[in-house]
Amino acid sequence: MEKIHCLAGALENVVFLNKYELNRRVLGQSNNIEICLGSSCFSRGNKEIVQIIKDFLKKNHLTDKVLLRGARCMNRCSEGPFIIINGMTFSSIGVQDIEKILENELV
């Protein structure tokens, strides 16, 4: 019983970070974009959305402040195209929506 108490005490000051907060704190990235590159999302528009995001980041001088990474299927195929920005999910987005979303979330 005492060992459990010690373990609980040891964990008292531990901070558990989700992967977005970890990237922000450890890697110095202030923003994170994860985009599903599974075949369903890719064919529904994420292929074009990737390029729009890259162009937006470059145009707004954000390429060094935003971690953009592709992910294999995120198991949200019926909701695609699917992206996550700083932990917030966006589904069924169209190429016409992405720039407005990026402006709201990153600028």
Q: pLDDT tens-digit profile of 79-107? A: 888 898 888 889 898 888 999 999 988 87
pTM over 0.95: no
Q: How many other C-beta atoms lie within 10 A of the C-beta of residue 85? A: 21
Confidence of residue 1 (pLDDT cuts 50, 70, 90): very low
Q: Which fold has domain 18-106?
A: Glutaredoxin (3.40.30)
Contact call for residues 37 and 89 (beta carbons, < 8 A): no
Tokens matching residue 68: 């953009």
Amino acid at 86: N
Is 50:95 a contact under the CB 8 Å cutoff?
A: no
- Distance separating the N- and C-terminal Cα atoms of the chain: 51
